[in-house]
Chain A
Amino acid sequence: MIKSLFDWLKQPLGLIAVGIAALAFFSLASYGIHITQQTPEQPVQFPHRTHIAFGVQCLYCHPGGTRGPASGLPSQAKCWGCHQQIAKTNTSPLLAPLKQAVESGTPIQWVPVAQVPDFVQFNHRAHIAAGQNCENCHGDMTNLTIAQNPQVFNMGWCLDCHAKTAGEDHTKRVKLTDCGTCHY
């Protein structure tokens, strides 16, 4: 049966059918891959740029960066500490989800953005200790509302910077590009 199918496919009509199928397949595939790279929706439209404009530092809300593997998310109490004193909290529709969450005692369900697979043991502390700034990897937040990845967090991109940072120092280069450094 397959043989007779292949014979038909070699005909002009068959070739067109193959062409359409391939096109459909690849466009669906690229769409699939494209949507994986879209910034996910967040339950609260948090404007990073507004907060930075007010002088709030990255580490104020994401303090884990200097201490361990994950920078972390601010607790509801951290947000509420200021927002309970700001009149706009009661009037702005953007802040309504925050007010509702705090008053009902339910945590806000943030969607993580800068994610790497489980087999990558990423540790923020080492990077901050090496003098990297948050915006080097996470982008310029002064233009963003909700968090967005400025580039794909793939291994090639990580290794690029690792190799550049190592420069001519052989020991550093070995340590930074060794598999076990990140995949232990």
Chain B
Amino acid sequence: MKYDIVCAPSYSLIEMNLNEGESVIVEPGSMAWMDTTIKPKTEMKGGFFAGITRKFGGESFFLNTYTAEEGSGTIGIAPGYSGDIVVRELNNETLYMERGAYLCHVGNIETSATWEGFSGTFAEGMFGLRVSGTGLLFFGSYGDIQEVEVDGQYTVDNGYAVAWEQNLDYSIGRSGRSIRSFLFGDQLICRFHGHGKLWVQTRSPRNLAAWVHPFRRVKSKND
């Protein structure tokens, strides 16, 4: 297996070359194009329960396995948003990520939902995604992705954390402590603790949507 990530960070795409017999597991909808030598198979990876928990984690119930069956072949994989893609080699490790960040993997990796608690309701939802095992993992987000080496503590705006290593934990709070900060629409932020790598994105789809909102037509009284 060989891969190349092209057009990063604006419109990153994975071009992956599979030898005969090799396969890649891809989030449904993320296959952009592929050679005819590659055959897709849709499965409920890990059984029904794993499918359900994945669904809670903002990913799909089913996962697609693409295998090069009649000789080698190339597959193009890209997420739905325009943005950066990060590759991470997992060696019996666990990563946590926000809903929707998972893209594809090669090897023996499992994805399942994690309960983020009610603190998560302010961020990306009450469930996050837990990815663990051994293999090559690809994840992405809207915007550029920057790697931060957390040594003790780090602050990230709510909704901008893409993924983090298992030794990191976070809590949600307000940036300021004063009453003034509460009254005047202060930011909700995630405070990460521990030691490990953290990936942050530089753009938020939610902010973009909020910007587009005023351009919508106003509903007339007759509608």
A binds B: no
Please list the residues of chain A having a beta carbon within 8 angstroms of any beta carbon in chain B. Answer: none
